[in-house]
Structure 1
């Protein structure tokens, strides 16, 4: 990962840890609330490539199961493994920030949870229409992951090797 001052302005603005952390936080929180389970850590690396890619984000819907969605939209998965790999450092930074600020915690089994007594990040505050769409799609992704079963199955559906 490049030093912060060495990043291009666009990367620094669009992929900053606060914004990416908000996306991850929203997904983790939605997953925790729906499933009543902790969020499997390996899935955190799939969230940003799904939400930040505009064409993919536009057709994410929890009305369709992840496996069916992936079969119906193979064109979106052509470069998905590359996007996921390129966003690993950005995801790591966002997770680190969330852990340091105690917005999420790492469970003893290595999974992620929003602490029960933490102050909830407001979904409407400081958002425009595109950010609101990203946060809405986070809830859809959380439902996908909850319904899809094992982590390995989710990775396989998206064409990524863990």
Structure 2
């Protein structure tokens, strides 16, 4: 990972840990609320490649099961493994940011959950239409993951190897 002063302005502004962490937080919170379980850590690496890719984000809809969505939009997953691999450092930075700020906790089982001691992040404060869409699609992804089965199954369906 390049140091901040070596990153292009676009990468520094668009892929900063606060923004990406906010998307991850939204997904983790929705998953925790829907399932009453902690978020499986390996799934954290699939969120940003789905949400940040605009064409993919536009087509995400939790009313359609993940497996059916994959069958309808296979073209969106052509470069998904590469996107996921490239966003691993950004995801790591974002998770680290969330852990350091106390917004999420790492459970003894290595899963993520929203910290009960932290205030819930606003869905509307400092948010424009595109950010709002990213947060909403993160929630859709949480609903997919909540009903899609095992972590391994989700990885296989998306064509990614851990």
* TM superposition score category, shorter chain reference: over 0.9
Look up the SS of the partner of 1:97 in the other structure: helix
Structure 1 unpaired stretches of 5+: none
In structure 1, the partner of 2:44 is 44
Q: Distance in 2 between matches of 1:134 and 1:51?
A: 6
Deviation at 1:115, TM superposition (A): 1.4
TM-score, normalization: structure 1? 0.99
In structure 2, the partner of 1:97 is 97
Structure 2 unpaired stretches of 5+: none
The superposition leaves residues 102-152 of structure 1 with CA deviations (integer Å, 9 ceiling, x where unpaired) of 100000000000012320000000000000001111110000000001000
Moved over 6 A (4+): none
TM-score, normalization: structure 2? 0.99
Q: Distance in 2 between matches of 1:138 and 1:83?
A: 16
1:21 equivalenced with 2:55 (yes/no): no
In structure 2, the partner of 1:159 is 159
Alignment of 1:1-162 (within 5 A): 1-162=1-162
Q: Distance in 1 between matches of 2:131 and 2:115?
A: 24
